A and B are shown apart, each in its own frame.
Chain A
Amino acid sequence: MRQPKQYGFFVDTAKCTGCKTCQVACKDKNDLPVGINYRRVYEYGGGGYQVNADNIIEVQDVYAYYASISCNHCSKPACVKVCPTGAMHKRRKDGLVLIDQAQCMACGRCHKACPYDAPQMDFESGHMTKCDGCHERIAEGRLPICVESCPMRALDFGPMDELKAKYPDHRDIAPLPNPKRTQPNLLVRANKHARASGEGDGDVLNWAEGLVNFPWESKGKLG
């Protein structure tokens, strides 16, 4: 039997400059208000300085890089598993994880379960929302708006087998969680400074830049 397709994303963290064009292009296409971001750009960095008595910086090991993340349309989607109504579902024909709005009761369990913060609550309409892989664009032979918008060509999208062949050089890096949990369909080319997933000595530095969907949470969820 022919294997169903599984779509996924690729992000090159050596190219990404954290410009957020993907995030904003997505918002324009999907009419998203401030507070809802189907694609989020995590700034990760660390290191420090040794300064001597003359105020000279003797040593520094500062680094930073960005990771642009949307929904990874996981092979073991935690959001689907916890959804009490079946609104959150994984489409067999292309592996995209989608929400049936009519069935969503906005309970927020998927928000708690997803280690990538992909489900984004629309507090005005009272529904959970998320990246749908721009499936209507895919059907027209286009790429998702984020991918086509990227000024640095750091993003890609396609069937995972094709992406893996195209980008054999990929790693699991911080601040992303261990992929074993949900088997995300995401390939990441590592930045020179990349820290391994779960082992980073740095921090996410930009929680204020659209990474927090639930306003009473001071930090967004990653991991």
Chain B
Amino acid sequence: MQRRYFLKMSASLTGAAALSGCNPFADKASTAATPLAPESVNWSACLVNCGSNCPLKVFSRDGIITRIETDHSFEDGYGNHQVRACLRGRSVRQRVYAPDRLKYPMKRVGPRGSGQYERISWDEALDTIHQKLGGIIEQHGNESVFFTYNSGAYYHFGGKQNYYRLMNLLGGYLGSYGDYSWGQMYQAAKYTYGSEALAYAGSAMAEMSNADLVLMLGYNPSEIRMSGSGEAYDFLMMQQSGRFKTIIVDPRYTDSALGKEDQWLPIRPGTDAAMAEAIAFELISQNRIDQTFLDTYCQGFDERTLPDGVPYAASYKSHILDNTDPASLQPGPNAKTPEWAAKITGIPADTLRQLAKQLADTAESGRVYVQIAASLNRHAAGENTIRAMYMLPLMLGQLGLPGTNTGALPSGASMHAPRMPMGSNPVDKSISFFTWTQAVEDGANMTVLRDGVKMPEDQLDANGDGKLNTGIKAIINYAGNALINQHADTNRTEQILQDESKCEFILVVDNWMTPSARYADIVLPDVTWLESEDLISQGYAAGNTATVVQMSSSVGPMFECRNSYDVCTELAKRFGVEDAFTEGKTTQDWLDQFYAEAQAANPGLPDKEVMLKQGVYRQYLPQGSHIALEDFRKDPQAHPLDTPSGKIEIYATPLAYKEAHWQLPDGQQERVTAIPKYSPHRDGYEDVETRQRYPLQLTGYHTKGRVHSSYHNVPWLREAVQDAVWINPMDAAERGLKTDDKVRVWNDRGEIEVAVKVTPRIMPGVAALGQGAWFKGGQFQGGKVDTGGCLNTLTSQQPTPLSKGNGQHTNLVEIGKAPQQAEKSTEE
């Protein structure tokens, strides 16, 4: 014993980074005894894309951050509770002082992806951007400039809005619709309920407390909405009241379960629609549907409400029963029976029957709250999966009433704080957020009917078709990582980006050398949240508690970092639009204006001097609870939906048109259909051919250890939440794997190396990997193998049929020991 431990370790720890009180970027603290300066306290916020925007209390000394606390200044009691940041916000000091912080403007000096950069001056950077962007706009038009989807910094004043504002003043850019989170849900909601917002503006969490049964279809607030004022805490408090039963359907036994579930039903990824159809079969066969509701509020459940001239065979009921006689409940050979669904979903037929009965029994005398997670929409046939799940509340007549939900994500409480106005985009064409790689490769041939290009009707030809004029020639990527990491198929994306004759200019603005930044031509260093003054409001998924936070700073800007308002003002100057950009206002003018507007919108918001000290202004359910489609339920004539029929469209008339007229690639199994339909899909459980080579389904999930790819470069978080591919003990045994082994996960698209976690918390036949780890593959890093373990090295760029979106959870893979690991165990 004795000192041996210490001596043994000191050799192996030479590379360990230590945080120090004096120079946080240095390896070791100075031990010189200098008197301590007084500690400063400022409020900031964590502005990533989890939906919460938690306030952070930042302590600093001499401009160096010393520690982080959150909201603790008053007695904590649910309903007026402290807004406690999760582990991500708590670790922000390590993120601000990360060794890969971008400190100066840089230009690329090696091939894209090589990560070879040289420091340049701000003037050179801005002149280069002006020259490149200006040249591309002149030569190819504004339609050739594109913003990759980004969500890493939810500033109100200093963030991405400034780049969009500038581009709008310069003639605009190619628009995009949808996003990586909810792309397919927007379309499902639009065609079913007449509004894309009904994808995420469901009933408030608070309505759970009026429910008797909460059915969570992939919904997992404890891992996705973790903030201590947000949905996770709301869910916990309501669940522990014991008022309702909770059924969780998910391939993983998630952290929202852990004893809070009355029942957990493991289901194979991408097969939820089959479960919904089996429940429909039971409800119809047992006469347990709410026929009055369906007749009054819906189009196309059966022959009674189909549009004129559409036969019964096109109805939902006919599809489920596989019969053609509206008067008969006799099922045909392809009826969607529980036995049929059991083989697809992995859930026993009897369990599906019991679930249908439990739902119907509850609906008879009580309330069912159905919550569909966005994970279900991120599949190859995501639009139809979401539409199929909507059928559950519809058949039960459980929406528009207290304790019910349409299936949409819960509406969060909200208070208003203004954002920098972006103006409007003069370019009237747009593509799906997901097809930008296609638009870089061959944008000039992308069309409306085949590729989902959107453009004004008066520009369409007689067939309703039209095309883009040009491919994407310039990309602006602000605080985003969809330039490679969060987009599908990283290897293919890298190839597309490396061709400098296609996309001629890439600008990345960020705080760290992210995987996306490695593909930039010019990199600009943004300030972090902790270096910024801003007035921000709660995120889009704050649960029942709304907040406004006054951010200020005593620690920045660091190095040569500049906020985007300053940078865009400088660019505006070069483009000759400075006056229009600034409207003659200084930064302080804007901040004062925004504060005044926020106070007008929230009369209780204290004066700024108070807020600078207090940091947080909060309200529990400031608008009260919310019941989705309450007005429509009360009076469908007075409050029609924005669908062609004004009703909920189970049979969606616009989709019947698209089913007949849209062009899908040869062989694409996933279809656009007038009614929601389960169908086998590429890389799904029923893709038997691919499954022979790649027998495991691999689904992504949101790890607690980062938010998408934000915070990946924080060692405290990498330690706290292991990045490991989950595999069931039975599948692990077949492959000789044990927990913490290094494994390779591969399919035709790529190969990653990652640790493995053998756990019963993932169902047999399925593997799961937290998405967002930073890509370390490609030509200049891992080569064939992505040693960063980025899920998207395995995902497909094949767009979904309707939204042209991302089926990034639909993957088939094989998993085996990494070569060096395999050698090691042979030696053992």
Residues on A lying within 8 angstroms of B by beta carbon are 14-21, 23-25, 27-29, 31, 33-35, 37, 41, 45-49, 51, 54-58, 60, 62-66, 105-109, 121, 123-124, 126, 142, 145, 148-153, 191-193, 205-210, 214-216, 218
Contacts and interface: CB of A to CB of B under 8 A. Distances in A.
B558 interface: no
A123 B72 CA distance: 34
Contacts of A192: 259
A149 B226 contact: no
A11 B90 CA distance: 20
9 contacts: A14-B259, A21-B86, A25-B68, A37-B719, A49-B763, A66-B255, A193-B258, A205-B761, A208-B740
A106 B764 contact: no
A19 B255 contact: yes
B18 interface: yes
Given A64-B761, A151-B232, A191-B258, A107 B70 contact: no
B690 interface: no
A151 B715 contact: no
Contact of B720 (A17, A20, A214): A20
Contacts of A31: 18-19, 21
Given A24-B720, A106-B5, 10 more contacts: A14-B240, A23-B87, A33-B19, A35-B16, A41-B720, A62-B266, A107-B3, A124-B9, A148-B84, A209-B720
Contacts of B348: 56-58
B67 A21 contact: no
A29 B91 CA distance: 10
A21 B87 contact: yes
B555 interface: no
A149 B72 CA distance: 9
B765 interface: yes
Contacts of A124: 9-10, 13, 16, 18
Interface string B700-739: 0000100000000001111111101000111000000001
B84 A151 contact: yes
Contact of A123 (B5, B19, B759): B5
Contacts of B240: 14-15
B295 interface: no
Given A55-B343, A205-B761, A215-B12, A17 B716 contact: no
Nearest to B94: A28
Contacts of B21: 31
Given A23-B87, A54-B342, A18 B18 contact: no
Given A15-B240, A17-B256, A57-B348, A28 B67 contact: yes
A207 B4 CA distance: 24
Interface of B: 1-6, 8-10, 12-13, 16-19, 21, 67-70, 72, 76, 84-87, 90-91, 93-94, 222-223, 226-228, 232-233, 236, 240, 253, 255-260, 264, 266, 342-343, 346-348, 704, 715-722, 724, 728-730, 739-740, 755, 757, 759-761, 763-765
A49 B226 contact: no
4 tightest A-B CB contacts, nearest first = A151-B228, A123-B9, A192-B259, A24-B87
A106 B266 CA distance: 48
Contact of A149 (B1, B84, B259, B759): B84
A28 B763 CA distance: 36
Contacts of B85: 21, 151
Contact of B721 (A46, A193, A209): A209
Contacts of B720: 20, 23-24, 41, 209-210
Nearest to B724: A208
Contact of A64 (B72, B76, B258): B258
B27 to A, nearest CB: 11
A21 B507 CA distance: 35
Looking at B93, B228, B347, the one whose CB has the most chain A CB atoms below 10 A away is B228
A123 B10 contact: yes
A68 B790 CA distance: 29
Contacts of A51: 730, 764
Nearest to A60: B266
Looking at B8, B228, B256, B719, the one whose CB has the most chain A CB atoms below 10 A away is B719
Given A19-B222, A60-B266, A123-B9, A152 B236 contact: yes
Contact of B253 (A16, A20, A23, A62): A62
B3 A17 contact: no
A150 B227 CA distance: 10
Chain B contact residues: helix, strand, loop or mixed: loop
A54 B87 CA distance: 42
B224 to A, nearest CB: 11
B87 A20 contact: yes
A63 B260 CA distance: 11
B266 A33 contact: no
A52 to B, nearest CB: 8
B346 A62 contact: no
Contacts of B69: 145, 148
Contacts of A105: 2-3
A65 B386 CA distance: 30
B5 A152 contact: no
A27 B93 CA distance: 11
A38 B185 CA distance: 43
B3 A126 contact: yes
Looking at B8, B93, B729, B739, the one whose CB has the most chain A CB atoms below 10 A away is B739
Contacts of A153: 76, 233
A152 B258 CA distance: 13
B728 A106 contact: no
A45 B222 CA distance: 17
B739 A207 contact: yes
A47 B760 contact: yes
Contacts of A48: 729, 760
A56 B19 contact: no
A127 to B, nearest CB: 8
Nearest to A29: B67
A62 B254 CA distance: 11
Contacts of A208: 722, 724, 739-740, 755, 757
B253 A64 contact: yes
A48 B729 CA distance: 8
B744 to A, nearest CB: 18
A193 B262 CA distance: 11
Nearest to A209: B722
Nearest to B765: A55
B75 to A, nearest CB: 12
A107 B16 contact: no
A59 to B, nearest CB: 9
B258 A56 contact: no
B16 A27 contact: no
B236 A62 contact: no
A123 B6 contact: yes
Contacts of A54: 342-343
Contacts of B3: 105-107, 126
Given A56-B348, A64-B253, A123-B10, A28 B719 contact: no
Contact of B759 (A34, A41, A205): A205
A21 B259 contact: no
B715 A34 contact: yes
B760 A152 contact: no
Contacts of B763: 49, 57, 60
B5 A121 contact: yes
Contacts of A218: 740
Contact of B722 (A57, A107, A109, A206): A206
A106 B716 contact: no
A33 B716 CA distance: 8
Nearest to A20: B720
Contacts of B236: 15, 17, 152
Contacts of B4: 108
Given A18-B255, A58-B348, A205-B761, A107 B2 contact: yes
B2 A56 contact: no
Given A29-B67, A124-B18, A149-B70, A214 B12 contact: no
A87 to B, nearest CB: 13
B761 A62 contact: yes
